[in-house]
């Protein structure tokens, strides 16, 4: 039997054409998956709010903690180091010692309190001042009060400085008043860890929220997935819109979370300033920096993508036309 006119089979597109189609498909799916969210406004808003709240909470705590740490840096008298010198230290030796310490890169300034000055201050301040009147010599040593630079006001750095100064000539004893600082640091360490733990748990919940939304979407589109498989779509092609969907959840949820963080911080800004002004500090509540904002949105995108990737997983491979 002779056929009238045989159709020519379509030639497989060239690699270049297929690559361009691949890029085009990515762009198409990017917009398509966004449109999909737009078409289900209620469910989308619900999911986005859950993501935003889960991310905003640890982010707010983190920003507050950072603020707390800058407050502690403002107290200049914290972390001062007192060097008690030998009473027989000569004037040139003392000058040289002061110069040496001033040159140290972690030292902000050095203040010299002579034995006489120390005695008169002691007399003024202490009710035992009269006791010293009876002594033939001044028992108080000359002192150098060292203020380290801000970044050195950490217990480990201060301890190192203390050891360094201890080894200098004519230094009798080095005293570090940092109990207060140590306590505060211990507290902020605990808070930091707690925030990290909360952040991890809430990040996990974002993963689950996105994963669940995507899983539902896959179930709703089961028939569609079967059809596209039947006309020769690969698993990767089918997976793509769901992964982009997770990416959009992450991006939009992250932006919303950042918005919430700013609202919360602006609300507590004034009372926080009122509180701190009671301590005579010119503290100003810091809002998240640009880098911090970008990291918040970035991690949100990551969680969204990862959540949808987990949901898509082998599920797409399991759905087969029947």
Partner 1 sequence: MIELQNVTKRYPGNREALTHLNLTIEQGEMAFLTGPSGAGKSTLLKLIAAIERPTRGQVFINRKNITRIPKRKVPALRRHMGVVFQDHHLLHDRNVFDNVSLPLQIAGFAQVDINRRVRAALDKVALLDKEQMMPITLSGGEQQRVGIARAVVHKPAILLADEPTGNLDPELSAEIMRLFNDFNQVGVTVLIASHDLDLIERMNKRIIRLRAGECIDSQSPLDAQNFEIHN
Residues that bind partner 1 (CB under 8 A): 3-10, 12-13, 17-22, 24-25, 28, 36, 39, 223-224, 226-234, 237, 317, 320-322
User: What minimum distance in Å lies between the beta carbon of 35 and partner 1?
Assistant: 9
Q: In whole angstroms, what is the distance from residue 230 CA to residue 279 CA?
A: 72
Q: How far apart are CA 261 and CA 60, in angstroms?
A: 6
Beta bridge pairs of residue 176: 81
- Rounded least distance, CB 218 to partner 1, Å: 15
* Closer of 4 and 291 to partner 1 (Cβ): 4
21, two tokens = 């189609």
Give which of 119, 120, 102, 103 is closest to 111, Cα–Cα.
102
Q: How far is the CB of 247 from partner 1 (least distance, A)?
A: 19
Nearest approach in angstroms of CB 42 to partner 1 is 17
Nearer to partner 1, 8 or 124 (CB): 8
Q: Measured from the CB of residue 306, what is the shortest distance to partner 1 in angstroms?
A: 24
Of 233 and 310, the one with the shorter C-beta distance to partner 1 is 233
Name residue, tokens 């407050």.
Answer: 71
DSSP of 168-186, one letter per residue? STTEEEEEE--HHHHHHHH
Q: Which is nearer to partner 1, 96 or 234 (CB)?
A: 234
129-148 burial, b at 16+ Cβ within 10 Å, e below that, comes to eeeeeeeeebebbbbbebbb
103 or 314: whose CB is closer to partner 1? 314
Both tokens assigned to 86: 């030998």
Minimum CB–partner distance for residue 217 and partner 1 (Å): 12
- Count the neighbouring beta carbons within 10 Å of the beta carbon of residue 294: 13
Closest among 227, 244, 240 to 35, alpha carbons compared: 244
Q: What is the DSSP letter of 313?
A: T
Given the complex with partner 1, which of 172 and 235 has the nearer CB atom? 235
- Decide whether 139 or 321 has the Cβ nearer to partner 1: 321
Look at residues 297, 57, 48 and name the one whose alpha carbon lies nearest to residue 199. 57
| Least distance in angstroms from the C-beta of 33 to partner 1 | 12
């Amino acid at each position: 039997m002779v056929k009238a006119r045989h159709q020519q089979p379509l030639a497989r597109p060239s690699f270049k054409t297929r690559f361009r189609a691949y890029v085009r498909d990515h762009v198409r799916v990017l917009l398509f998956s966004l449109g999909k969210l737009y078409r289900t406004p209620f469910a989308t808003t619900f999911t986005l709010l859950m993501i935003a709240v889960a991310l905003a909470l640890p982010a707010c705590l983190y920003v507050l903690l950072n603020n707390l740490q800058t407050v502690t840096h403002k107290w200049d008298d914290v972390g001062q180091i007192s060097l008690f010198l030998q009473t027989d230290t000569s004037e040139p030796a003392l000058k040289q010692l002061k110069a040496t310490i001033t040159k140290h890169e972690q030292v902000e300034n050095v203040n010299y309190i002579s034995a006489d000055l120390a005695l008169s201050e002691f007399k003024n301040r202490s009710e035992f001042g009269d006791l010293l009147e009876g002594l033939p010599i001044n028992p108080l040593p000359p002192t150098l009060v060292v203020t380290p630079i801000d970044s050195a006001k950490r217990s480990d750095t201060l301890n190192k400085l203390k050891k360094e100064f201890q080894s200098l000539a004519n230094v009798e004893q080095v005293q570090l008043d940092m109990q207060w600082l140590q306590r505060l640091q211990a507290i902020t360490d605990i808070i930091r860890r707690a925030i990290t733990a909360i952040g991890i748990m809430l990040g996990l919940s974002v993963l689950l929220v996105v994963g669940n939304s995507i899983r539902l979407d896959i179930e709703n589109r089961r028939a569609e997935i079967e059809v596209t498989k039947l006309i020769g779509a690969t698993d990767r092609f089918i997976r793509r819109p769901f992964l982009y969907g997770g990416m959009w959840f992450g991006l939009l949820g992250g932006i919303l979370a950042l918005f919430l963080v700013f609202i919360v911080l602006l609300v507590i800004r004034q009372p926080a300033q009122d509180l701190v002004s009671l301590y005579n500090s010119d503290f100003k509540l810091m809002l998240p920096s640009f880098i911090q904002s970008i990291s918040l949105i970035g991690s949100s995108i990551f969680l969204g993508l990862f959540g949808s990737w987990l949901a898509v997983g082998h599920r797409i491979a399991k759905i087969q036309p029947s």
